[in-house]
Structure 1
């Protein structure tokens, strides 16, 4: 069984993406995913939606990548769905095709949330529509003071209930604040986002990506099996009562206690050495 499970794992260090840029550091532990259509402020297309979804799903089998940094090129994060490559075709689609599309976009959020790697969004400039959703779905968010984040679906006659926004955003910034942003579609300033807990920190444009990658490296060099368990608990406990939460965390912690990481950390502490984490 062990060999069979190991056979499913593969390195992503040399993974080649088609509709965005995918790079890792030297040992493959930190991956940086860059939306790279800067001339249009990095909008998504049908193809990039699907490729992103497939990538985050496949990262569950990565033998190297432990943390993902998600960012945009050229001073902006992501302007949402491309107006002419997505929005205009949607106006001509029949209902079966429309529901297939909205289910596909929602699946991207599902895969970001369910992949074991913590996802860190590094946001600059425009972060709108589906771009705001990508930031929302990430586990940790950093921004520049110039970042403007807008869930602007109502601006085009759609509900604010898109890709899980009505369920996830209130849990991050509170029901009232989320309601305002989702009803009005107005931009949340970086300062508001930081004060409300959407952004974990604000950094100058020149420092943003490096800060995100440094934090990613610290996570990647830490107890990354335990980090994956923490992410799973943060996600699944939303729908639990307190008794279920406590029991679920008891099981999660017992699993982590059975790993070599836990034993090695104790031995390192006793020897006054730095612990070595191997994820097993």
Structure 2
């Protein structure tokens, strides 16, 4: 980035020290670990907000090219903590409840707006808000023993939480999404793979390494191009085909201006593997 633009537009993510979850940077991969294993890694008011803020910051961090989200202790995330979130919510006023639901939705918005592809590594319990975080990721690796549940109806709520009614049907189809959102039942690993929710199922002891390896592979690719792909995948939900084709024409022309595009051509011409630098 030009030195004149760095102030206010560039942040280093490697040195961050979140309080409510783990954060490590492995090469160019940022690894988020939800680490309350004794409770199956539930979220709290504080962790929701801190995750939202981290993903917002990643829009300005060029030292991280991809992100992995994983859980500690054999589970991904059990959703909102029953005692630290659900209990207090039953005593809140409508304005405070709306502030909370908007905050949780802002986490999803931040995940979709950050330019880095996000890979979720899903094992064990993946329920409620945990299922939403998985859904909001770009790629999902799971295990056979994992159980994904959009269980909002089981606690007396609607299935339309944090964008689920918009995003889940686009991943697995309207009928399948309707079943999961109405019933709140568990979706086991083999079904999640067959329905297209998972990109791949791997062994439990290989899951986190496989997710990082996938993220590292993406991180070695054309960073600007990946960010553009993510943006267009998101924006084209609301476009007609003709509008989408024109938008992609503009996006691809912009990508052709990058040095990575020229590096790829020169490498191909010289029968070499391209080395992408994200510029």
What TM-score does the superposition give when structure 1 sets the normalisation length?
Answer: 0.98
Question: What's the counterpart of residue 191 of structure 1?
Answer: 190
- Whole-Å separation in 2 of the counterparts to 1:254 and 1:244: 15
Q: CA RMSD for the aligned pairs?
A: 0.9
Question: What's the counterpart of residue 142 of structure 1?
Answer: 141
State how 1:54-203 maps to structure 2 within 5 Å. 54-203=53-202
Q: SS where residue 245 of structure 2 aligns? A: helix
User: Residues 111 and 136 of structure 2 are in contact (CA less than 8 Å); yes or no, is this contact kept in structure 1?
Assistant: yes
Kindly state the Cα deviation for residue 4 of structure 1 after the two structures are TM-superposed.
3.2
User: 1:14-72 CA deviation, whole Å, 9 max, x = no partner?
Assistant: 211100000011x3x10110000000000000000000000000000102000000010
State how 1:193-232 maps to structure 2 within 5 Å. 193-232=192-231
Q: SS where residue 267 of structure 1 aligns? A: helix
Q: Does 1:5 align with 2:8?
A: no
Kindly state the Cα deviation for residue 251 of structure 1 after the two structures are TM-superposed.
0.6
Kindly state the Cα deviation for residue 6 of structure 1 after the two structures are TM-superposed.
2.4
- Whole-Å separation in 2 of the counterparts to 1:108 and 1:177: 24
Runs of 4+ in 1 over 3 A off after TM superposition: none
Gaps of 5+ in 2: none
User: 1:145-195 CA deviation, whole Å, 9 max, x = no partner?
Assistant: 110000000011100000000000000000000000000000011111000
- Whole-Å separation in 2 of the counterparts to 1:151 and 1:221: 34
What TM-score does the superposition give when structure 2 sets the normalisation length?
Answer: 0.98
Q: SS where residue 248 of structure 2 aligns? A: helix
